[in-house]
Structure 1
Amino acid sequence: MSSMNVSLSTLILYVQDVKNLKEFYTENFGLQIIEEDLNWVLLNAGGVHLGLHTMGLEYRGKANAVQSYQNNAKMVFEIDVDIQIARNNLISKNIRMRDIKTFEDYDFWLCDGLDPEGNVFQLKSAKR
């Protein structure tokens, strides 16, 4: 098999309420809508697109995911503002956020949060 060039172009989340999550990501992160219809929205998230797709009827209502950080994926948004200010702004909108953390010899501050359906996102801000 020959080698191929690969790049991640889109991450799709299957969600219960496309409209609610579209508003969450456009209002809180400034993501721009590329395309949308009743069951789908595609957002420009910089180097990758974020797709929100309505999950199948058989799965809707079964995932009360807002209770805990038990996802197996995390979206990381690199921001160009002070992470404490960004975190406080999200908390003021009743968005669940964890404490800010970093690691030894790591040039970034990190802070995890949850969107309205329990999908984990992380803010990543360069140390200044």
Structure 2
Amino acid sequence: MPRLLDIMESADDFIFDTLSQIRMDTWSRGRVVLLGDAACCAAPSSGMGTSQAMAGAYVLAGELAAAAGDHGPAFAAFEKEMRDYAAENQLIGRRAAEAFFAPGGEGAGDPEFTAPAEPPVETIELKGHQL
């Protein structure tokens, strides 16, 4: 850490960022709907970003078709269908981040640390289709 602090001011390619997760109260407003990471990013530490985006796109398309393109009911049904799935993945992301990045957290600073395995993600059923 002391070496990093010494060289970061003079480095021309130093990047420092946060690992964050935002939980939204709603994923749509008017004719605009958030999907994938914009709606429910589980965090890079979850490994579920692409899966959530693909599942969300699939469910949203199905809800828009079922509502004959009427975005209001389709957006509400999409969010109702996806909310629990997103919350489970966000929890996985928070647990992984705590294990690896939290100050004093399990494994902090230990390159040999392996995070405890999460229970396997089960196949989920959304609108009668398994994903």
Query: Which TM-score applies when normalising by structure 1?
Result: 0.24
- Which structure has the larger Rg over C-alpha atoms? 2
Larger fraction in helix: 2
TM-score (norm 2): 0.24
